[in-house]
Amino acid sequence: MLVALVGGVRCAPAPGLKGICPSCGQAALAKCGPTNAWHWSHQGQRHCDPWWDNETDWHRGWKQCFDIQWHEIPQWDDGGEKHVADVKTSSGMVLEFQNSPMTIEEMQSRERFYKDMVWVVNARL
pLDDT at 53 over 80: no
117: enclosing H helix or E strand: strand 117-121
pTM comes to 0.75
How far is residue 120 from each of residues 6, 26, 32, 65, 106, measured CA to CA in Å? 29, 29, 27, 13, 15
CA–CA separation, 96 vs 120, rounded Å? 6
Tell me what the mean pLDDT of segment 92-102 comes to: 92
User: Predicted confidence band at 31 (pLDDT cuts at 50, 70, 90)?
Assistant: very high
Please check whether residue 94 is in contact with residue 117, taking contact to mean a CB–CB distance below 8 angstroms.
yes
Tell me what the mean pLDDT of segment 93-110 comes to: 93
Closest CA to 22 of 40, 4, 8, 7: 4
